[in-house]
Amino acid sequence: MPDEKMQRQHPPGPCGEGALPLLLRFLDRIPAGGRVLEIGAGRGERALPLARRGWSVTATESDPSALAALRQAADSEGLEVDLREGGPLTAGIEGPFHAVLIFDRLQELTRSEAASLLYRVIGWLAPGGLLMLTTVHVDDPCYDLCRDKWRRIGLHSFRSAQGMVRTFLARSEILDLFIGWNVIFHCEGQGPAHSHAPGCTERHGVVELVARKPRDA
């Protein structure tokens, strides 16, 4: 069962409502007490509720302040969360896991980094393991800005003058990356309207995927 506080604050919703509703919708597909890996766990918005409910959670985070906040929150509740500082390619992760979560992190990687990560995910997941992933596609309003203002470093992939990377997937590209997997849920559309600043409302082009690794892989 999902964490009650998490359930109240983030009820399940339609495509594009965010990582927590997606996780809640398919939480019962992860074996109780199983191993869960979250890539880029932030301050623990998902890792902590999972640990509270008995899953064995490994969480990576490259932002030291976010990782410190996650560690402090876990320690204050007496929760055991295996925390790894660094990006997914440098954190020394060892599988197998029953589920891997990659929420809104793929777009921060170059094409080669993303390919390397997804290759490792295949190895980290146990046969029949579950992947939950969200990212952005080329119909995101930010795509035109990145294309016009940033340096192109790959297919639909750009780098700003400050070194920030944004990589967008083509429509349905995510399905081509997981041919042979059992796709439980796939959605591509526009997320809900939101604002990062007063008077500025935007919607992102979102990709959501829940897929199960073949048991004979």
- Other CB atoms within a 10 A radius of the CB of residue 128 amount to 14
How confident is residue 1, by pLDDT bands cut at 50, 70 and 90?
A: very low
Q: How far apart are CA 133 and CA 117, in angstroms?
A: 12
Residue with tokens 């997606």: 22
Give the pLDDT mean for 153-174. 96
**Mean per-residue pLDDT, 4-13:** 39
Is the CATH code 3.40.1280.10 the one for domain 4-136+168-212? Answer: no
> What pTM was estimated for this model as a whole?
0.88
**What does the domain layout of the chain look like in residue ranges?**
4-136+168-212
| 13, 206 Cβ separation under 8 angstroms | no
pLDDT in tens, 60-90: 999 999 999 999 999 999 999 999 998 777 6
Nearest to 205 by CA among 138, 133, 106, 150: 138
Task: Output the pLDDT for position 13.
Answer: 45
Share of the chain above pLDDT 90, in %: 76
